[in-house]
Amino acid sequence: MNSQITRRGFLGGAVLLGGAALVGCAPDAQRQQAASPGTLQDGTPRRGGRLRLGVVDGDRAGTLDAHKPLTIGSIIRGFAVYSKLWEWNAEMNWSPALAEETEANADATTWTVRLRQGLEFHNGKTITADDVIFSARRLTDPALGSPWAALLFTLDRERIDKVDERTVRFHFKDGKGFVPFPDTFTNFGAIVPVDYDPAKPVGAGPYKLKEFTPGQRSLFTRFENYFKDGQPYADELEIIDFQDEASRIAALQAGQISLANGIGADQVRLLQGDPRVSVVVSQTSNWQSFDLNLSKEPFRDERVREAFRLLTDRKELVERALSGHGRVANDLYSPQDPTFDRSIAQRPYDVERAKALLKAAGQENLQVELVSGEGGDAAALVFAAQAKKAGVTVTVKKVDAATFNGPRRLDWTMSTGGLLTESFLSSALHLDAPVSAANKTHFSDPRFTELFEQAITQPDVARRAELVHEMQRIQHAKGGLVIWGFNDALDAVSTGVGGVVPEHTQFATWRFEKLWVKETT
């Protein structure tokens, strides 16, 4: 499956270097670094030192639970502590990690996974098939109540076969096939030992937990028997929680942290003149949208939906809401998926046609409330101004994360939305597939459902692509997601850290095993 993906190369991924370091007006230490060729991007990894990553986790402190990470900070800490059967490569496709070989049968009704030889957990215990079975069962255990279990809704947890000490075979409910098993199992499928205790978490990730102070920081030490030879490089890793982005950026500039993942696009300009910091730009397929609730007026009417798509000036949204750090989207997700239909024409920006459609639908002088969740305000405000040009009054209502995801989360008439890069089927499972738990748009189409059922059991990419193409045409014409842009992942990195390279993912600063400290301070 992975081999069929064309590598698009890192066309958009450029490192914005702090200008001063290059022209030589930086302090001596930095000038030396800039002088030795390639140190800013590559260099030879060196061992030792402490990596310090600052994360902004909103109001949450989060946990270390392997299978129930509920905040971005928790997920990032999981990247340090845990390893999985698969991992995401730079193109955001899965490739084997703890697994040596993984294989689906002809109709994807079983997946067989064989572990590498000689794998170890942090506590020295060998990783066996039993641990894999335990981990899969724990993630999907109703008693754990992990929201991520829903993605594996079809896994038959009573029927996970131990073929031998290193081999496990997974089956799915009702003997149905499940193509996106690696996609849905990788994100939250940390492999943990059978005696796993979330209070004293043991995994097989590059770093072992030393201390965890929720809401403040966590400290990790290098796992010497990590499965990737020679890695990780740093002696220690510290992940520090910030409540405020400005404070995190100041700490980075003051040298108190060396990495800041996923910074806001508006921070980039501030950092561009700073010789101590470079911004690594990863072009992703992480997308942002306005979600129209198809079960409510005025969006029951297809013409109104179409009008909203046409009056959305995507270029302006990318320029203003993302400060230019992104690309225009065409109301479809997962362009990185090999089954993506590239022949669907980009929807134009056409206010006149939007007005005509609204008029035909009897919706002139339409008033709509747009509920904006965390991080959606800028786009919502830009959109409100755009809608005005088509005679639509959009009132932006900003709510906190808890309210946004609260009891009314499926009731908003129109709301901001988005998702990180996932495969087509996996994204659909989150959003608009018949089994989705969070179908904010209430999209439901009999033909789409039928095609989804077929696609999810079709491991052959070419055949699945035919099905997906038809599904995407339905989404493009009738769906409720106005996907206006893909945003770049922006990571700010101190010049003292090596190994952060642009990818097509948001993981550039989370691949802790690959990062190193250039000078020990």
Partner 1 sequence: MSRPATGGRGRWLLRRVAYGATAVWATSVVVFAATQALPSDPAMAILGGDATPESLARLRLDLGLDRPLWQRYLDWLGGVLTGDLGRSLDSGTDVATLLGGRIANSLALLLLALSVAVALALALGLFAALRRGGLADRVVTSTAVSLQAVPGFVVAVALIVLLATTVWPVLPAASLLEPGLSPFAQLHYLVLPALTLVVAETPYLLRQVRSSVVEALESDYATAARLRGVPERRVIWRHALPNGLVPAVQATALTTGVLLGGSLVVEVAFSYPGLGGALNAAVGARDIPVIQAAALLIAGGVVVVNLLADLVTVLLTPRLRTGES
Contact residues for partner 1, defined by CB under 8 A: 58-63, 70, 142-143, 145-150, 211, 213-217, 240, 242-244, 246-248, 250-251, 253-254, 256-257, 399-409, 430, 437-438, 440
**Both tokens of residue 79?**
């990247």
> Does residue 476 sit in helix, strand or coil?
helix
3-state secondary structure of 381: helix
Nearer to partner 1, 256 or 346 (CB): 256
Residues in the chain, how many? 521
Q: Which is nearer to partner 1, 199 or 345 (CB)?
A: 199
CB-nearer residue toward partner 1: 243 or 346:
243
Min separation Cβ 257 and partner 1, Å? 8
Give the DSSP letter of residue 151: G
- In the complex, least distance from residue 314 CB atom to partner 1, rounded to whole angstroms: 24
Q: Supply the DSSP string of 75-130, one letter for each residue.
A: HHHHHHH---SEEE-TTS-EEESSEEEEEE-TTSSEEEEEEPTT-B-TTSPBP-HH
Comparison of 117 and 521: residue with beta carbon closer to partner 1: 521
Q: 335's torsion region: left (phi>0), alpha (psi -120 to 50) or beta?
A: alpha
Q: Between 45 and 198, whose beta carbon lies closer to partner 1?
A: 198
- Please classify residue 64 by burial: count the beta carbons closer than 10 Å to its beta carbon, then call 0-12 exposed, 13-18 middle and 19+ buried: buried
Euclidean distance between CA atoms 14 and 214, whole angstroms = 35
Q: Which is nearer to partner 1, 99 or 271 (CB)?
A: 271
* Backbone torsion region of residue 92, taken as left when φ is above 0, otherwise alpha when ψ lies between -120 and 50, otherwise beta: left
In the complex with partner 1, which residue's Cβ is closer, 307 or 428? Answer: 428
Structure token digits, residue 295? 């079960």
The distance of closest approach from Cβ of residue 516 to partner 1 in the complex, given in angstroms and rounded to an integer, is 22
d(CA 140, CA 177): 18
Q: CB neighbours of 319 closer than 8 A, spacing ≥ 6?
A: none
Give bridge partners of residue 368 from the DSSP assignment: 394
Min. distance of Cβ 405 from partner 1 in angstroms? Answer: 4
Nearer to partner 1, 123 or 216 (CB): 216
Q: Which C-beta is closer to partner 1: that of 248 or that of 325?
A: 248
CB of 83 to partner 1, least distance (A): 23
Residue 500 CB, nearest approach to partner 1 (Å):
21
Closest distance of CB 250 from partner 1, Å: 4
Alpha-carbon 147 to chain mean position: 16
Structure-block tokens of residue 314: 């995507």
Measured CA to CA, the distance from residue 439 to residue 446 in angstroms comes to: 15
- Return phi, psi of residue 393, to 5°: -95, 115
- 152 or 366, CB closer to partner 1? 152
Q: How far is the CB of 409 from partner 1 (least distance, A)?
A: 6
Q: How far is the CB of 144 from partner 1 (least distance, A)?
A: 8
CB of 80 to partner 1, least distance (A): 17
Q: Are 293 and 414 in contact (CB under 8 A)?
A: yes
